Structure 1
Amino acid sequence: MSIEIKAPTFPESVADGTVATWHKQPGESVARDELIVDIETDKVVLEVVAPADGTIAEILKGEGDTVLSDEIIARFAAGEAPAAANNGVAAEAEAEISGPEDSTDAGVGPAARKLLEENNLSASQVSGSGKGGRVTKEDVLKHLKNKPAAPVAAPAAATEMASQPVSEGVRIEKRVPMTRLRATIAKRLVQAQQNAAMLTTYNEINMKPIMELRNQYKDLFEKTHNGTRLGFMSFFVKAATEALKRFPAVNASIDGNDMVYHGFQDIGVAVSTERGLVVPILRDTDDMGLADIERNIRDFAVRGRDGKLGIEDMQGGTFTITNGGVFGSLLSTPILNAPQTAILGMHKIQDRPMAVNGEVVILPMMYLALSYDHRMIDGKDAVQFLVTIKDLLEDPARMLLDV
């Protein structure tokens, strides 16, 4: 039975996608719900799985092709298996007839084949760990990692290379196309700067009270909440939530000529992944405890690393927090995450000499930056919002007492 494989149904905010990687090739056996292709959109990578046991009959959209929502990208033969999967002897005989080059090509995926070509390797040099001895991308990477630094083979080639003059001052360039996510990030950042009256106000916070509180209770916290660790981000999320309730304009957004005030706090937390920066959303943070926040942030980080974040995880949001301090940033100017009107930037904690009651004291200090859209937020409100966060974090009891 032939089944049409279609691209996923994209939400209204996603116009189209790009075929990123085919994990299965025509004629290759596939189990039900096994991953066969990745579709990359502006926000996430969507996985398409096999609808049943069978084989890929035909690929209609190759890697790099643009696809629309629900567009047919391949045809699937359900209940059928390739001859190689059913008869190992027949597969060996066919390989002998077709020759070694054809057989190795048939057992190499597109990602692995690309790596082989880039490193001037043949599939016969790599031990395949995939189904039926298939050479995977991981096999090639493992081979390259274990490859000796100075190969003994091909002395003639080495002599030829040694005889050629070495070009001094050669400047190598490598041109790589942007991923859809990276291109979208670039477009949105430029639009935010062009379409908003963006300003940034700064302040600094004494992190000693939060650090002492964390050190005092982190072991008990982790034991009480089943291994959930107490970090600094949950304190900032709770402080920002309280400040957003006091300054509704900072929690608002602009839609054309309308100012939209949100009666809830959905805070986006910027997460760095290999594909780029993504901002999953913590929903209704006013109803969340510190453990809930830490647990969700940890989940976002793991799923972001594994490419498992869904579009629904990143839609919406009324405010954003980004932490450049984890990478060592001492001070920065965060760019608005449109259509939101403000974003809070955290930075590195660094010991600095501070004047306290007429004496110089070394304290762990952090610079805070609030970028905001001046069309929506007055400077007074932006400054007071940031001061509120500073006051709440320097005296955490304020968050409990709501003062």
Structure 2
Amino acid sequence: MAGEPCLTTGSVASTGSATVNAPVSPRARRLASEKGVDTAQIAGTGPHGRIIERDVIAAQGTPKSGLAKAMMADGGLQAPAAGSGIGGMVKGSDLKVWKPTHTENLAGEGEEFKVEKMSNMRKLIAKSMYNSLQNTAQLTHMLGADARRIQALRKKAKKALEEGRIDANITINDFVCYAVIKALKKFPKVNSHCLGDTMRIFNVVNLGCAVDTERGLMVPCVKHAEDLNIIGLSKALKKVAEDCKKGSINPDLLSAEGASFTVSNLGGFGVEWFTPVINVPQSAILGVGTIVPRPKDLGAGVYAFVPYLGLSLTYDHRALDGGEATRFLKQVATEIENLEVEF
């Protein structure tokens, strides 16, 4: 998913009545030219109404991140005079209350449909998805992983939490992400960005995780996830997910370029397999499905139903061949089936 671009507003905010043909200082004129500010619309605060640099800066308005802009336009919120970001930038967390999109019923009474305008956030998501599918060669491979091991670990973690031996509610998704990190360290080319004729191969795992929020899909990332144990990873994943839902996520953690690989989990909705869309410029994304019973050969002619976890890997065929993508997917399954963690 696209992050929160740091853009400044393009509107002109005058501090008083503009003076026609008011004198403009050289520095103010240069800055106005760079920023596209019309000095004729600015009231100067210098001697004799002279327009100085600070007047041009004030006329630019308070800079706002992409998420803050979308929230303001979609919910009619007002920005504070200065935000908590760099240079006073207004972030999503500075807009304390989010008002969900209101549907405008443009159809008359008794009509068979209504027209709903897309929110700015929805437009950002749409643009990102369209760009991903238009500019990459995406293919999805699907594989099941025996989930008995992580189910046993989940049961063990739940008991440890109840007994106060750990302070994190470690979920199935946390164990899957932990296994993915291990697999990525063994397949560095999957942990990469495809940049056309070059690739950026990461030595660290900056793990993106898709989060469903009221405002739409958001993909924050956990930096240097390979340095975390299972408890630390569980806490970090929950922290960024909660920050997204509250609108307080650090914009730097939403940049698609900030993550090296993404995991999207729809298992909680009962989905077994799906085709996740790559968060470009990343080279791949893993979709995690629900756990369902499937027959398995236990050896010696013995078959039994065991719980299987659906894994769907979408990769950019420009960056990865099918064989390497499949080997990585099988490695993820192997890590899940043989995961060792300490509480």
Amino acid at match of 1:231: T
Q: Are 1:361 and 2:304 an aligned pair?
A: yes
Equivalent residues of 1:272, 1:278 under 8 A apart: yes
Counterpart position of 2:69:
17
- Check 1:220–1:177 CA distance in 2 against 1; reply closer, same or farther (3 A cut): same
Bigger RCO of structures 1 and 2 (CA < 8 A, at least 6 apart):
2
Question: Which 5+ residue runs of structure 1 have no aligned equivalent?
Answer: 36-40, 50-110, 119-166
Q: Are 1:384 and 2:327 an aligned pair?
A: yes
For residues 283 and 206 of structure 2, the distance between their equivalents in structure 1, rounded to whole angstroms, comes to 13
- Check 1:175–1:285 CA distance in 2 against 1; reply closer, same or farther (3 A cut): same
- Which of 248, 252, 272 in structure 2 is aligned with 1:308? 248
Percent identity, please: 28
Counterpart position of 1:340:
282
Counterpart position of 1:225:
166
For residues 282 and 15 of structure 1, the distance between their equivalents in structure 2, rounded to whole angstroms, comes to 19
- Check 1:47–1:206 CA distance in 2 against 1; reply closer, same or farther (3 A cut): same
Counterpart position of 1:395:
338
Bigger mean CA deviation after superposition, 329-338 or 304-313 = 304-313
Amino acid at match of 1:184: L
For residues 205 and 8 of structure 1, the distance between their equivalents in structure 2, rounded to whole angstroms, comes to 50
For residues 133 and 307 of structure 2, the distance between their equivalents in structure 1, rounded to whole angstroms, comes to 32
Counterpart position of 1:179:
119
- Which of 256, 265, 280 in structure 2 is aligned with 1:323? 265
Question: Which 5+ residue runs of structure 2 have no aligned equivalent?
Answer: 1-14, 17-57, 85-89
Bigger mean CA deviation after superposition, 176-185 or 199-208 = 176-185
* 3-state SS of 1:209 partner: helix
For residues 189 and 23 of structure 1, the distance between their equivalents in structure 2, rounded to whole angstroms, comes to 27
* 3-state SS of 1:224 partner: coil
Amino acid at match of 1:342: A
How many residue pairs match? The answer is 270
Counterpart position of 2:4:
none
Q: TM-score, normalised by structure 2?
A: 0.69
Aligned counterparts, 1:257-296, within 5 A = 257-296=197-236
Equivalent residues of 2:204, 2:224 under 8 A apart: yes
Q: CA deviation at 1:313?
A: 2.1
- The structure richer in strand per residue is 1
For residues 176 and 273 of structure 2, the distance between their equivalents in structure 1, rounded to whole angstroms, comes to 17
Q: TM-score, normalised by structure 1?
A: 0.60
Equivalent residues of 1:7, 1:48 under 8 A apart: no
* 3-state SS of 1:377 partner: coil
Q: CA deviation at 1:263?
A: 1.4
Bigger mean CA deviation after superposition, 209-218 or 280-289 = 209-218
- Check 1:17–1:24 CA distance in 2 against 1; reply closer, same or farther (3 A cut): closer
Amino acid at match of 2:315: Y
Amino acid at match of 2:199: M
Counterpart position of 1:47:
94
- Check 1:256–1:354 CA distance in 2 against 1; reply closer, same or farther (3 A cut): closer
